[in-house]
Amino acid sequence: MALGSQPRWTVRPADAQVGIDVGLREYMLRVYNYMASGLALTGIVAYVAAFSGFYASIARTPLIWLVILAPLGLVMLMSFGIQRMQASTAQMVFWLYAGLMGLSLAMVFLVFTGTSVARVFFITAGTFGAMSLYGYTTQRDLSQFGSFLFMGLIGLVIAGLVNIFIGSTALQFAISVIGVIVFTGLTAWDTQQIKEMYYEGDDYEMGSKKAIMGALRLYLDFINLFMMLMQLLGTRRD
């Protein structure tokens, strides 16, 4: 019930704060549930595509470019079109994105051993969980690091594009090390930003949109951190 619909003398600051805290926990739980479901879908699709031979069959055709570029297009669609979408549409786009990312990441199961994939996944999950918890609970304003982390992200993208052409193992190692630092920091910062996006007065539709976009941000942090750690700690197949 909206506060304005109650007599003023019945509204207690403590009660209002409890309501906000409960609503915030429910909102963050939706964010993490969306993110975890997206990761699960990505992992299942990647595993099936890798060991069914589907990824190998499309890797030799122009369709591989669709698999690589389509997720980027979907992220841009969600980022710039979320206000015009219904929450149900945004959710479907998120699932589609997670599935396409699974196709893209099928190569991980083909290049690295299953044991090392599992090991790095749990290392990523532990690191992500710790930093996200820190971002949620800290009273420190992390926005001061936001511009620094964003600049680091831009630098990683540029360095990655350059390394496609020069193929330097030393540069790839540096990209992976810096990438772990950047995405570890982004996990905490994004979590704090997502928490601050919560507004008690949002209706279910708006709250769902915010939760989906928050899940997308954390999903990207997790996936990128996982890939950087795979480059550093993964064991390649013979």
Instruction: Express each pLDDT in 178-223 by its tens digit.
Output: 999 999 999 999 999 999 988 878 888 888 999 999 999 999 999 9
Distance CA 92, CA 111 (A): 30
> DSSP 3-state assignment of 142?
coil
Distant-in-sequence, close-in-space partners of 3: CB < 8 Å, separation ≥ 6:
11, 16
Span between the terminal Cα atoms of the chain, in Å: 62
Beta bridge partners of 236: 112
- Over residues 74-101, the mean pLDDT reads 91
**Residue 95: predicted pLDDT:** 94
The domain ranges of the chain are 9-233
The model carries a pTM of: 0.87
Predicted pLDDT at 169: 87
Q: What is the CA radius of gyration of the chain?
A: 20
Query: Taking phi first (over 0 means left), then psi (-120 to 50 degrees means alpha), and beta for anything else, what does residue 61 get?
Result: beta
- Where is pLDDT greater, at 134 or 166? 134
How far is the C-alpha of 179 from the C-alpha of 225, rounded, in Å?
7
Higher pLDDT, 14 or 111: 111
For residue 14, is pLDDT > 70?
no
